[in-house]
Amino acid sequence: MNKVLGVIWENWIKPLALYAALWAGFHYWLDFDNKQSVVFALFFGWCYFGFSKLNKKTEKAEDFIPYRVSITIHNAQDLLLKYKLLKTEEEWTQLSLKETSVLQRGFNFTVLSLSKDGLPHLTWLDDYKVFRAGMPSFEIPLEGLELLNEPPGRSSKWSPLLYFGYLHGKGHGYTIALCVRDKWWEKNKTSETEKTEIDNEYHTGSVYLTLGTLPYGEIGLDYEARRQDRKTELTKFGWTIKDYHEPQVPAWDRFEVQNEYFSVSQQDCETDTEYGLAHTVEAYKLDSLETVELILLSENSRVMEPMMFEFFAEKGGPGIKLVSDNT
C-alpha cells in the first residue's frame, strides 16, 4: 500500500503541486497573464523534472564500480566423460589444450555499465578483447575438443560450445549450458544424461544442455534490490557460496559460488590500484626490506602479481621476489 501511495505522489500529486505553485508565482507574484503563467509553469516544471532525473542517473553512475566475472570449469574431466564428449579417461590425458582454452582457464568478462533496470549492459570480453552491449550472452568454443560430423559434411569436425547467458533456459536466471549438434545428442545421450534440461535451436540444428542456472541477482550481487536472499536463491539452483575475504587487503575480496561443474566468481575493478598495493606493503611490513618476499595468500591473488611486481620494483629496487603457496 505504501508503495502505491509513493507512486501516486511521485507521478501525480508532486508534479501537479509544482506546476500549480509555479503558475501561482508567475500569475500573482510576477503579474503575468494566465496564458503566460501556464507556459512558464510548464517550461520550468519540465526543466526541473528533467534535471532531477538526469541527476539521479548521474549519482547512480558515480556509485557503480565495474566488476570482473570469471566462469571456470572445476570438474572438466567428469563433465566431458559424463556427456560422452570423451569416451575414456585416456582420451582426457591425450587432449592437447592451449592455455587459452576455456577448459583450462574458463572465460572472463567485465561489466562496465548497467542498464536503466540495473542489469549488466556494456561488457568487455577479456579473453577476446571486444565490447558487447546488452545483457550477457556468450558462446565460447571448447578449444582442443573436436568431434566428427555424423554424417560427414563440408566440415568433418566441430567443437562443442560453452554457453552463458539469458537467451536459453527457462528464464529463471543466467543459463550455463553445453551447445552440441542435435544429431550427435540423439546418438550419444544416455539414460543418465537424457534427463538434462535442453533447449532446441532448430534453425541451427543445435541443442543446449543446461548444466546450471545462476540467479540473475548473483551477477552484480543485486539481491537486495530484487528483495531476495542470496543464500536461498543460490541453494534453490544447486549453488554453494565460496566467498573469499582478505581482511588486510579488501581489494582482494571475491564473491564466488560453485555447483557440480562450475565456479563463478566476481571482483570489483579497483580504480586506485597503487593505493591498494601501498596498503598491502604496509600491512605486511614489506616497504623497508631490500628484498621483498611476498607470500600470496590465494590462487585468486595471482591476477595481482604483474601489478605487484611493477609496484614493488619501483619501491624496493632490484631483488624483488614473489612466492606463491600454489607452486
pLDDT of residue 229: 95
State pLDDT tens for residues 109-138.
Answer: 999 888 877 789 889 988 888 888 888 999
C-alpha distance from residue 252 to each of 300, 306, 324 (Å): 8, 14, 15
- Asked whether residue 261 is domain-assigned, the answer is no
Domain hosting 195: range is 67-217
Check whether residue 205 and residue 95 sit in a common domain. yes
DSSP 170: S
Domain count, the chain: 3
Range with the poorest average pLDDT among 124-128, 151-155, 183-187, 319-323? 319-323
**Span 262-273, average pLDDT:** 77
Check whether residue 279 and residue 190 sit in a common domain. no
Question: Which of helix, strand or coil describes residue 293?
Answer: strand
Decide if 319 contacts 291 (C-beta within 8 A). Answer: yes
Check whether residue 51 and residue 88 sit in a common domain. no
> What residue type is 45 in one-letter code?
G
State pLDDT tens for residues 281-309.
Answer: 444 444 443 333 333 333 333 334 444 44
Among residues 11, 36, 63, the one where a domain terminates is 63
- Asked whether residue 315 is domain-assigned, the answer is yes
Task: Check pLDDT > 80 for residue 18.
Answer: no
**How large is the C-alpha radius of gyration of the chain?**
27
Model pTM score: 0.65
Check whether residue 18 and residue 72 sit in a common domain. no
CA nearest 217: which of 172, 157, 258?
Answer: 172
Task: Check pLDDT > 50 for residue 312.
Answer: no
Peptide bond into 160 cis (omega under 30): no
- Asked whether residue 112 is domain-assigned, the answer is yes
- Asked whether residue 139 is domain-assigned, the answer is yes
Query: Is residue 280 very low, low, confident or very high in pLDDT (cuts 50, 70, 90)?
Result: very low
- Asked whether residue 255 is domain-assigned, the answer is no
Check whether residue 114 and residue 207 sit in a common domain. yes
Check whether residue 124 and residue 8 sit in a common domain. no
State pLDDT tens for residues 209-252.
Answer: 999 999 999 999 989 888 999 999 999 999 999 999 878 777 77
Please return the burial class of 4, using the count of CB atoms within 10 Å of its CB with bins 0-12, 13-18 and 19+: exposed
Check whether residue 282 and residue 212 sit in a common domain. no
Q: Which residues contact 199 (CB under 8 A, 6 or more apart)?
A: 168, 169, 175, 177, 207, 208, 210
State pLDDT tens for residues 246-260.
Answer: 787 777 788 999 999
